[in-house]
Each structure stands twice: as C-alpha cells, then as structure tokens.
Amino acid sequence: MRFHVVTIFPNMFESYFAESIIARAIKNKLLEIHTYALRDFTFDKHRRVDGRPYGGGPGMVMWVDPLIKCVEKIDKKIQKKKNTKVLVVMFNPGGDMFTNTLAKTVSKKYTDIIFICGRYEGIDARVKKILKAKEWSIGPYVLTGGELPAMVCIDAITRQIKGVLNTEDSIEENRIASHEIYARPEVYEYKGKKYKVPKVLVEGNHKLIDEWRKNHSTGKNVS
C-alpha cells in the first residue's frame, strides 16, 4: 500500500509516522507514505493556493489548479508501477463517514490512496468531479484542516494490512476483544479504596472470559 498526501503542511506528518507500528511497517516495506507540498505546484511568487469564494462569505477556498497539477504528478509516478489501483480521497466534515469497515475494504482493494487535505473553508468542488474523488469525514465535528483526518485514516487502514500488527490476532475485530482491560496488580488500592480486577478474568475459565468480553466489547463501536 502506498499513501500519497497532498498538503500545505507536510512537516506535520513526520513525527507521527516516524514512531511505533507505522514506522516499523514502513521499514518492513509493507507501506510507503509520501507527502507532497501543495505550494510546490503554484506558479506565482507568493505560492498562493487559495482565493476568495464565489458568492461571498468568509474563509478562502483552495484553488483547483495546484491540486490538479499535484495529483497529475502523483498519478504519473504511480503509473510507473504495475497493476495499480488508485483511490483519490478528499476530506470534508460533510463527507461519507470513515469507519473500520471502510478501512478494511480499501486496504484490500487499492494499491495507492491519494489523500487531499483541505484547509480554510475547503476545496473547490470541481476538484472532486475532475479527479472522481471520494469525500470522507472522520467525525461530526469541524477541524482546522485535513491533516489529522489523513493521519487517522492512514493509521486505521495500516492496521488492516497483513503483517503490520505482530499477529493476525492483534486485530480486535478478528477476535473477542474488550475495551475494559486489566493487568497487574489484581487489587489496586487508592485513597483507602480497593479497585479489583473482575473475578471472571482471574479465574481462567475461557468460555466465561469470552462471554464477559463479548458483553464489554469493542465491537459495538467499531463497524
């Protein structure tokens, strides 16, 4: 899987992807993450990427041309590889809700995903039409830009790629996982009160443990 991120803030991505599971996956050649500085695709000396909206109103709109030029360049690079399947995604708080099911589907279906991170008021609507892009939202709130959504989606999709997590089993959705988890000590005392691990988890009856976990499961919020 190759991720391509179009942004005016490429530096934002460096520290997150340089650590932990994603860094290991990149090192093991399970994925690549490339960022593209949108301002490199402008032709005026101020390297502007945005202008005033038609119809008036506050906030600037990201221009079509630099985005198209940038994606054309990425596409050229992708087409040098064999058997590619490309998805273009724009971020928009009003887009299709990004879910774990979607993460799983796209992780299997595509070789390259191009993410376009919006800023300001958003992206000129013609970009979506020209690039036949999908629009994804990561939740019912408005952020200042598409960079965090790109990181969120890359993270969730990466987890679904075979070999990224240590064992297949680590993928919560493939087993009975609970969001309520405990490790040593069995009893933790704080300000005179005892906080105990549920008995069923210490007793070792795996059938009962699975049942308990099902009732305290991650699954209900992940689909």
Q: Which residue is nearest to ligand SAH (CB)?
A: 118
Find the shortest distance in angstroms from Cβ 158 to ligand SAH. 18
Find the shortest distance in angstroms from Cβ 52 to ligand SAH. 14
Task: Output 92 or 107, the one with its CB closest to ligand SAH.
Answer: 92
Task: Output 90 or 165, the one with its CB closest to ligand SAH.
Answer: 90
Distance set, CA 217 to CA 61, 176, 200 (Å): 42, 7, 15
Find the shortest distance in angstroms from Cβ 172 to ligand SAH. 23
**Residue 36 contacts residue 11 (beta carbons within 8 Å):** no
Any idea how long the chain is?
223
- Return residues touching ligand SAH (CB under 6 A): 91-94, 117-119, 121-123, 137-139, 141-143, 145-146, 149
Q: Kindly give the pairing relationship between strand 86-97 and strand 112-116.
A: parallel
Q: Kindly give the pairing relationship between strand 187-190 and strand 193-196.
A: antiparallel
Task: State whether residue 157 is helix, strand or coil.
Answer: helix
Which DSSP symbol is given to 158?
A: H
Task: Output 64 or 171, the one with its CB closest to ligand SAH.
Answer: 64
**Residue 39 contacts residue 65 (beta carbons within 8 Å):** no
Task: Output 9 or 182, the one with its CB closest to ligand SAH.
Answer: 9
Find the shortest distance in angstroms from Cβ 121 to ligand SAH. 5
